[in-house]
Amino acid sequence: MSSFDKWLNRVTSVSQLLLVVIAAITIKLTVIPLYQKELNSEELAKAQIKLNLVQAEMDSLNKAVLSKEEMLADTLSRLQGAERAELETRTALGKLNEEFSSKSKSLAVLKSQNAKIMIESANLKDRVMLDNQLRFKQALEWFSMISNSSRDCYYPGI
C-alpha cells in the first residue's frame, strides 16, 4: 500500500494542480469577463446619464435658438417695415421737394411781378399826385377867377 499511497499522493497533487489550473481558466473565462461586463455596464450607465444631461442641455439650447430665431424674424420684419416706411417717407419728401421747388419758382415769378407792380404803383401814385396837384391848381385858378380879385389865394397869410 505504500506504492498505492505514493501514487495516491501524486494523483492528489496532480488533481490539486489540475483544480488550480481549472479554477484559473474558469476565473479567466467567467469571472473576469463578468467583472469587465459590469465595469462596461457602469460606464455605459454613466455615459447614458451624461448623454441625458447633454440631451437636456441640447434641448434647452435648441429652445433658446428657436426663441432667438423668432426674435430675429420679428426684428427682421420690423426692419423691413421700417425700410418700407423710410422709402415711403423718402418718396413723399421727394414729392414735397418738387412741390417746394415749383412753389419757390412761382414765388420768384410773383416777387418779380410784385416788384413790377410796386414800381407801377409808385408811378401811378406819382401821376395821381401830379394830377391832384394840377386839379388843385386849376381849382384855385378857377376860384380866383370867379371870386373877388382882392383876395389872393397864393399868399400863405390869406
Tens of pLDDT, residues 84-122: 999 999 999 999 999 999 999 999 999 999 999 999 999
More confident position, 153 or 48: 48
Neighbouring CB atoms inside 10 A of 144's CB total 14
Q: Is the model's pLDDT at 150 over the cut of 60?
A: no
146 pLDDT tier (thresholds 50, 70, 90): confident
At 32-49, the pLDDT tens digits run 888 889 999 999 999 999
140 with 153: CB under 8 angstroms?
yes
In three-state secondary structure terms, 135 is helix
Alpha helices per DSSP H over the chain: 2-26, 32-146
Tell me what pLDDT residue 30 has: 87
d(CA 86, CA 89): 5
57 pLDDT tier (thresholds 50, 70, 90): very high
136 with 127: CB under 8 angstroms?
no
Domain boundaries in the chain?
Answer: 1-119
Tell me what pLDDT residue 141 has: 86
Q: Is the model's pLDDT at 151 over the cut of 70?
A: no
4 pLDDT tier (thresholds 50, 70, 90): confident
| CA dist 152 → 81, 144, 148, 157 (Å) | 90, 7, 9, 10
d(CA 83, CA 80): 5
